[in-house]
Chain A
Amino acid sequence: NAGVTQTPKFQVLKTGQSMTLQCAQDMNHEYMSWYRQDPGMGLRLIHYSVGAGITDQGEVPNGYNVSRSTTEDFPLRLLSAAPSQTSVYFCASSSNRGRIYGYTFGSGTRLTVV
């Protein structure tokens, strides 16, 4: 089915470990974003990309890196995991008409850092 695919669905990390959250979409969307969702905080933008080779920081970028080598993939890297990064992470994509049609979200990655 067309959509946004995130892997893994669940992950437990030890403090200081690094890992990459994967995100892929097959809708040829230009825009892709990573959000984190914490209780009482709503979804907050981490990084976003307006196309292959172009990325920029969102509201809460510290501790995360991204790259966009292809239109389809937008991985999020945690450089040195901290307990404060325990959260649910959502990847989202949109066509360049996203301001009208909104975003499509992946099913999320639940990350726990111990």
Chain B
Amino acid sequence: RKEVEQDPGPFNVPEGATVAFNCTYSNSASQSFFWYRQDCRKEPKLLMSVYSSGNEDGRFTAQLNRASQYISLLIRDSKLSDSATYLCVVNKMNNNAGNMLTFGGGTRLMVKP
């Protein structure tokens, strides 16, 4: 079983739609959680961190459920420019005090006119 699992999609939605992505992680020692966005043939870029209380950044809302080891990302009023792959990422501190990110395989979103 992968440590971080995502539905690869693609999710095809019309402009203006609301879309939600889910992610599950298996390591209960995970301490920090993120959503990254990756455009085709580009590097991943941090979209938002995910906090236990849930957090919102404009049209984007992230939720974390530690008990179920589940993370979600909600995008409201989808724009064409939201078309990308969304990576669920968890971070844990290892025994050497290193920062280790584990990535999900990504969920591809395609927003259509």
Choose, from A14-22, A71-79, A92-100, the stretch at the interface.
A92-100
Say yes or no: A102 contacts B34, CB within 8 Å: yes
Say yes or no: B49 contacts A102, CB within 8 Å: yes
Known: A99-B91, A102-B34, A102-B36. Contact between A45 and B100, CB under 8 A? yes
Say yes or no: A31 contacts B43, CB within 8 Å: no
Say yes or no: B43 contacts A103, CB within 8 Å: no
Known: A42-B104, A108-B43. Contact between A100 and B49, CB under 8 A? yes
Mask, B41-64, CB within 8 Å of A = 1, is: 011111001000000000000000
Majority DSSP secondary structure for residues of B touching A: strand
B14 to chain A, nearest CB (A): 27
CB-contact partner of B91 in A43, A96, A98, under 8 A? A98
In whole angstroms, what is the CA distance A102 to B97 when docked? 15
In whole angstroms, what is the CA distance A81 to B17 when docked? 46
Known: A98-B91, A101-B49. Contact between A50 and B44, CB under 8 A? no
Q: Does A25 contact B (CB under 8 A)?
A: no
Residue of A nearest to B44 (CB): A105
Say yes or no: A48 contacts B100, CB within 8 Å: yes
Say yes or no: A40 contacts B105, CB within 8 Å: yes
A63 to chain B, nearest CB (A): 20
- The chain A residues found within 8 Å of chain B, CB to CB, are 31, 33, 35, 40-45, 48, 50, 54, 56, 58, 90, 92, 94, 96, 98-108
| 18 A-B contacts (beta carbon < 8 Å) | A40-B8, A40-B105, A41-B105, A44-B103, A45-B102, A48-B99, A48-B100, A50-B96, A50-B98, A56-B98, A94-B99, A99-B93, A100-B49, A102-B34, A102-B89, A102-B91, A104-B46, A105-B44
- The chain B residues found within 8 Å of chain A, CB to CB, are 2, 4, 8, 31-32, 34, 36, 42-46, 49, 87, 89, 91, 93, 96-106
Task: Give me the 3 closest cross-chain CB pairs, A-B, nearest first.
Answer: A105-B43, A99-B32, A42-B105
